[in-house]
Amino acid sequence: MKIFLDTANVNEIKEGLSWGLVDGVTTNPSLIEKEKGANFKDIVKKILEATPGPVSIEVVATDFDGMIKQAHKIRELGSNAVVKIPMTIDGLRAIRKLSEENIPVNCTLVFSPIQALFAAKAGAKYVSPFVGRLDDIAEDGMQLIEQIKTIFMNYDIETEILVASIRNPVHVVRAALIGADVATLPFEVLKKLPQHPKTDEGLSKFLADWKKLFPDGNFPL
Ligand code: E4P
């Protein structure tokens, strides 16, 4: 499973990349807004330059023509730019048109299995089901991932399932067990994943025992 970082913060992206854990990046208008004061074009260019993998940038037009125009502007900024299009009827039209132009699209704001199927049929490279926001309204977000996975397997659909709106490490484990293609994580969740209290406890014990043997911390090889 690929790991994307769900952020518009270049420092977080550089840090995650330096750990070797980040295969790509997803942004959205709310994440861009968090980078208060920064110039939108500059942020996008910096993210695209810093990231070797795909970077999703979202359009804010809601009509077909506007989405296509904004999509072309986004693509001009980098060959790794993926255009994020919301799951609407105009959005589906735009996904079809852009995929005919070989422009990769991430269909966002997916909350039902049929929305995911329609986005895939329109030619989306990725579909982004939002699991956390479903959990927030007492639905089971991960059940949606299972349903989409089954449908895509039934029809040999190549569109990648990009699990979005992830809130905790359990979402990530479940995504991997289901066989999702990508999980996009907030930096805070990414940081937690390599850590385990038993790992920290075990390491302290090993180091304490070593100090008994070599009080000056020597490693005599
Ligand atoms: C995905 O691409 C979205 O940017 C993101 O995962 C939304 O997550 P949220 O529900 O935490 O805002």
Encoding tokens for residue 134? 């479903």
Q: For ligand 1, atom 7, which residue shows the shortest CA distance?
A: 165
Tokens of 59: 């359009």
Does any ligand 1 atom lie closer than 6 A to the CB of residue 184?
Answer: yes
* Three-class SS state of 152: helix
pLDDT of residue 30: 96
Distance 200 CA to ligand 1 centre (A): 31
Q: Would you list the domain boundaries of the chain? A: 2-195
28 pocket-lining for ligand 1 (C-beta < 6 Å): yes
- Cα–Cα distances (Å) from 79 to 55, 72, 164, 192, 197, in that order, read 10, 11, 23, 31, 41
Is 45 marked active-site?
Answer: no
Give percent of the chain with pLDDT exceeding 70. Answer: 100
Nearest atom of ligand 1 to the alpha carbon of 167: 11
Residue 79 has pLDDT above 80, yes or no: yes
Backbone torsions φ then ψ of 25, nearest 5 degrees: -140, 145
Show Cβ contacts of residue 168 under 8 Å, excluding neighbours closer than 6 positions.
189
Q: Whose CA is nearest to atom 12 of ligand 1?
A: 165
Residue 97 has pLDDT above 90, yes or no: yes
- Whole-number Å distance, alpha carbon 128 to ligand 1 midpoint, is 9
Question: CATH number of the domain at 2-195, please?
Answer: 3.20.20.70
In this structure, are residues 217 and 196 in contact, taking their beta carbons and an 8 Å threshold? no
Residue 38 confidence (pLDDT): 80
Expressed in angstroms and rounded, the spacing between residue 140 Cα and the centre of ligand 1 is 16
